Amino acid sequence: MDFALSEEQSAIFDMARDFGQDRIAPHARTWEAAGTIPKDLWPEVGELGFGGLYVSEASGGAGLSRLDATLVFEALSMACPSVAAFLSIHNMCAKMIDSFGSDDLKARVLADAVSMKTVLSYCLTEPGSGSDAAALKTRAEKTNAGYVLNGTKAFISGGSYSDAYVCMVRTGGDGPKGVSALYVEDGAAGLSFGGLEDKMGWRAQPTAQVQFDDCQVAAENLIGIEGDGFKYAMAGLDGGRLNISACSLGAAQTALTQTLQYMSERKAFGQSIDQFQALQFRLADMEIELQAARTFLRQAAWKLDQGAPDATKFCAMAKKFVTEAGSKVVDQCLQLHGGYGYLADYGIEKLVRDLRVHQILEGTNEIMRVIVARHLLANR
Ligand SMILES: Cc1cc2nc3c(=O)[nH]c(=O)nc-3n(C[C@H](O)[C@H](O)[C@H](O)COP(=O)(O)OP(=O)(O)OC[C@H]3O[C@@H](n4cnc5c(N)ncnc54)[C@H](O)[C@@H]3O)c2cc1C
């Protein structure tokens, strides 16, 4: 058993961290205030190979492992978890197309997705179905030319911003087996968007409803086989959960590093506040929590890479553990900054807001427990 990163993995981490510090961190607050990420960032991200992190090399992707990809998200989140998490969603979509799409679809769309000339969104949630995603109602009727879509997707990261939408829609009867995945390009007739959601965190990312009113989609834009869309959507989520955990980890690590520095400078009662043992213990607890989270996350990623039978359970456990650890740590870091932690200039309050949603999306942390409990009960 080897817990060390290889030289190549360290290089991947360093490249992502340096890019984040250079091209994202200086702008994170401006982009948050603007409510959008400049589109011209993405081709630069694509040039580093981050637009198709685990898209196969045969399809033009970087062909990295899931473990390698978590390093990229951990490192980029040190600059801004909202931007890093947006990239995770794009990668989840690109991987779905690479794994399940027809050769024609892959040839048509993957090169631009990998280079990030096009940015992709993932559309599963609806106003009436979130955790119970298989209850989705958006209907796709088959016609001679393809499909006609009617319905609404809710909370879509990149809604009205992205260039294409990977949409889970109902082509058959009730339940997961009636769901198919379709690739819907921006500009499709009958595709429109709700207003931008006003959110607690992840404010740099536009979030909006995606609406279909007799939206026309070509038959060739079906991803894989009709009726298998829910399976594809869930397959994408195991990796998405790892990435989102990595985003919590990187952001929390940044907050801890910054807090260590702050505590050496801030004085109270005639000494720097890092001299109070009660506060040193809090620092120690945070370090323990983050190291445990990192080890657990990398183990889950390794399981997914190995195709281990319990990989889904480990991805769910890691997601629950790491995202809660990350939120706890950034909240403590805010506390250790005193009143200054509450001010936007210090950057910590943004992390508290950004990380909160990691406990809600890619499956809520309650649903992560449902998955773990189901495995426990099935295998007793
Ligand atoms: C900022 C943001 C961005 C998002 N981006 C996307 C996106 O890009 N694409 C996309 O498809 N979706 C996206 N989502 C949606 C997200 O995935 C859902 O919000 C999430 O799955 C929860 O669904 P819900 O909000 O309908 O909550 P509900 O499912 O209504 O859950 C409400 C509460 O009940 C709990 N609960 C539900 N069922 C159970 C159960 N069986 N056992 C125990 N507890 C349960 C939940 O954990 C939660 O606490 C985004 C959400 C947000 C906030």
Ligand 1 centroid distance, CA of 265 (Å) = 41
Please tell me which residue in 74, 220, 362, 366 is annotated as part of the active site.
Answer: 362
pLDDT of residue 317: 98
Does residue 203 sit in helix, strand or coil? Answer: coil
pLDDT of residue 2: 85
Question: Is the shortest distance between the CB of 317 and ligand 1 below 6 Å?
Answer: no
Strands 120-123 and 164-170: parallel
| Ligand 1 nearest atom to the CA of residue 153, by list position | 11
CB-based burial label for 360 (10 Å; 0-12, 13-18, 19+): middle
User: For residues 105 and 221, is the Cβ–Cβ distance under 8 A?
Assistant: yes
Residue with tokens 């807001």: 353
Question: Is the shortest distance between the CB of 201 and ligand 1 below 6 Å?
Answer: no
CB-based burial label for 119 (10 Å; 0-12, 13-18, 19+): buried
Question: Is the shortest distance between the CB of 130 and ligand 1 below 6 Å?
Answer: yes
Question: Is the shortest distance between the CB of 370 and ligand 1 below 6 Å?
Answer: yes
Mutate to test the pocket of ligand 1, among 119, 155, 356 (most ligand atoms within 8 A of CB): 155
pLDDT of residue 236: 84
Active site residue 362: yes
Q: What residue type is assigned to position 15 of the chain?
A: M
**Triad 31, 290, 131: Cα angle to 5°:** 65
Question: Is the shortest distance between the CB of 89 and ligand 1 below 6 Å?
Answer: yes
pLDDT tens readout for residues 115-136: 999 999 999 999 999 999 999 9
Q: Which of 89, 56, 101, 223 is nearest to 157 (CA)?
A: 89
Tokens of 344: 């936007």
| Ligand 1 nearest atom to the CA of residue 158, by list position | 8
For atom 22 of ligand 1, the residue with the nearest CA is: 130
State the average pLDDT over residues 323-341.
98
Rounded Cα distance, 282 and 299, in Å: 26
pLDDT of residue 205: 95
Question: Is the shortest distance between the CB of 183 and ligand 1 below 6 Å?
Answer: no
Residue with tokens 């809604």: 159
**Triad 178, 182, 187: Cα angle to 5°:** 140
pLDDT tens readout for residues 240-261: 999 999 999 999 999 999 999 9
pLDDT tens readout for residues 142-189: 999 999 999 999 999 999 999 999 999 999 999 999 999 999 999 999
State the average pLDDT over residues 88-111.
97
Rounded Cα distance, 90 and 61, in Å: 13
Question: Is the shortest distance between the CB of 123 and ligand 1 below 6 Å?
Answer: yes
For atom 48 of ligand 1, the residue with the nearest CA is: 364
Q: Tell me the residue ranges of DSSP E strands in 82-232.
A: 120-123, 139-142, 146-157, 164-170, 179-185, 191-193, 207-218, 222-223
Question: Is the shortest distance between the CB of 125 and ligand 1 below 6 Å?
Answer: yes
**Triad 117, 205, 354: Cα angle to 5°:** 135
Ligand 1 centroid distance, CA of 223 (Å) = 24
Average pLDDT, the chain: 97
Rounded Cα distance, 371 and 350, in Å: 30
For atom 37 of ligand 1, the residue with the nearest CA is: 131
Ligand 1 centroid distance, CA of 342 (Å) = 28
pTM over 0.85, yes/no:
yes
Q: Which of 365, 251, 254 is nearest to 315 (CA)?
A: 365
Ligand 1 centroid distance, CA of 161 (Å) = 21
Ligand 1 centroid distance, CA of 134 (Å) = 13
Ligand 1 centroid distance, CA of 268 (Å) = 43
pLDDT tens readout for residues 25-72: 999 999 999 999 999 999 999 999 999 999 999 999 999 999 999 999
pLDDT of residue 1: 79
Q: Give me the phi and psi of 215, to 5 degrees please.
A: -75, 130
Question: Is the shortest distance between the CB of 366 and ligand 1 below 6 Å?
Answer: yes
